[in-house]
Homo-oligomer: A and B are copies of this chain.
Amino acid sequence: MRFMTTSDKPENATGGESAADDTAEVTGIAAQDWDRASADPQYRAAVVDLLGALAYGELAAFERLAEDAKLAPTLVDKAELAKMAAAEFHHFERLAGRLTEIGEEPTRAMEPFVDALDGFHKQTAPSDWLEGLVKAYVGDSIASDFYREVAAHLDSDTRGLVLAVLDDTGHAGFAVEKVRAAIDEDPRVGGRLALWARRLMGEALSQSQRVVADRDALSTMLVGGVADGFDLAEVGRMFSRITEAHTKRMAALGLAA
């Protein structure tokens, strides 16, 4: 099976076992709803993995933001972070709800991703408020880019849910504003935070590799090929796009990536 990869080449997106007879304009899995797409057990397993990873990511984000709220310099900042944490929790609820709806135990779906995500958070505990903001901003943005790329490979029902929970929780604007103000006030802060952002990116990549190595169904879906083996060129391009977007965001923040 081959899933639709990027939006600029839908005409190449069919093929493989289950989607071979589908020749509509939007083709492949992306043209199917969940009921049809999930008939393929490998696709089903990949989506359960994806929803489980995303759900635990939201739960971990909730915890991280709530933790960062304690570092907030003012009550207004604290309340702002608590608000974002609550929004992440509601995303978690939707994802867990969806897993239940399709007959999967949310806890079991999340469990394979606990170590990688906890490992990431443990290796990158922010030492102050600004590091926390940069981490939340970098982490959310990379995760969001990644899931948006993946969403193009998904059946219409799952795609709708994934895009809905990626809806901006307002974090980006808040973090950018605070970090830029801090750099304006003391430019040396920029150097320290740039190093920090590089460390975050490195740690995120290393934990992602760990997940990809462990979870066959998920990684197979990510790289868009099953029968033919991994389409490594495509996954390489995806990582390039994500890294470029990261570099641009860091520049906008006043940080050299």
Contacts and interface: CB of A to CB of B under 8 A. Distances in A.
A91 to B, nearest CB: 11
Interface stretch (A69-77, A162-170, A174-182, A215-223): A69-77
Interface residues of A, number: 27
A67 interface: yes
A80 to B, nearest CB: 11
Q: Among A56, A78, A110, A114, find the residue whose CB has the most chain B CB atoms closer than 10 A.
A: A78
A79 interface: yes
A51 to B, nearest CB: 14
Interface stretch (A28-36, A41-49, A58-66, A240-248): A58-66
A63 B69 contact: yes
Given A66-B62, A110-B75, A89 B83 contact: yes
A194 interface: no
A109 to B, nearest CB: 10
Given A82-B89, A89-B83, A107 B75 contact: yes
A66 B89 CA distance: 11
Nearest to A93: B83
A82 B110 contact: no
Contacts of A74: 107
* Interface-centre pick from A56, A75, A93, A114 (highest chain B CB count, 10 A): A75
Nearest to A78: B59
Contacts of A63: 66, 69-70, 82
Interface in A78-111: 78-79, 82-83, 85-86, 89-90, 92-93, 96, 106-107, 110-111
11 contacts: A56-B75, A59-B79, A62-B66, A62-B85, A63-B66, A66-B85, A67-B67, A75-B106, A79-B107, A85-B86, A86-B86
Given A75-B110, A79-B107, 20 more contacts: A59-B82, A62-B82, A62-B85, A63-B66, A63-B82, A66-B66, A66-B85, A67-B67, A74-B107, A75-B106, A75-B107, A75-B114, A76-B107, A79-B92, A79-B96, A79-B106, A82-B92, A85-B86, A85-B89, A86-B86
